[in-house]
Amino acid sequence: MSIAAVHNAPSLTASGVTVAFGGFKALTDVSLNVTPGAVHGLIGPNGAGKTTMVNVLTGYQAPTTGTVLLNGQSVGDQTPHALRRDGVARTFQAGRLFTGLDVLDNLAVTGVGLGHSRRRAEAEALRLLDWMGAPHLAELPAAGLPYTDERRVGIARALMFQPDFLLLDEPAAGMSELEAEDLAAIIHRIANEIGCGVLLIEHNVGLVLSVSHHVYVLDAGQIIEEGDKDVILGSQAVREAYLGAEHTEDA
Give residue 10's pLDDT band: very low, low, confident or very high (50, 70, 90).
Answer: confident
CATH number at residue 139: 3.40.50.300
pLDDT tops 70 at residue 237: yes
Q: C-alpha distances in angstroms, 95 versus 24, 44, 116, 143, 192? A: 28, 22, 23, 11, 24
Q: What is the largest CA-CA distance in the chain?
A: 62
Q: Which pLDDT does position 175 carry in this prediction?
A: 87
Number of domains in the chain: 1
> What's the domain range around 15?
3-250
Q: Which pLDDT does position 244 carry in this prediction?
A: 67
pLDDT tops 90 at residue 182: yes
Residue 31 CB-half CA count within 13 A: 4
In this predicted model, what pLDDT tens digit does every residue of 105-123 receive, in sequence order? 999 999 999 999 999 999 9
pLDDT tops 50 at residue 5: no
Q: Taking all residues of the chain, what is their mean pLDDT, rounded to a whole number?
A: 91
Give the lowest-confidence range in 72-76, 191-195, 244-248.
244-248
pLDDT tops 60 at residue 251: no
Mean pLDDT, rounded, for 101-107: 96
Give residue 249's pLDDT band: very low, low, confident or very high (50, 70, 90).
Answer: very low
In this predicted model, what pLDDT tens digit does every residue of 130-177 receive, in sequence order? 999 999 999 999 998 988 899 999 999 999 999 999 999 999 988 899
Mean pLDDT, rounded, for 191-198: 96
Contacts 24+ apart (CB under 8 A), 55-63: 56/14, 56/17, 56/19, 56/27, 57/12, 57/14, 57/88, 57/167, 57/199, 58/83, 58/84, 58/88, 58/90, 58/167, 59/83, 59/88, 61/19, 63/17, 63/18, 63/19, 63/27
Give the lowest-confidence range in 62-66, 145-149, 192-196.
145-149
Residues in Cβ contact with 212 at an 8 Å cutoff, skipping those fewer than 6 apart: 39, 40, 41, 200, 229
Give residue 8's pLDDT band: very low, low, confident or very high (50, 70, 90).
Answer: low
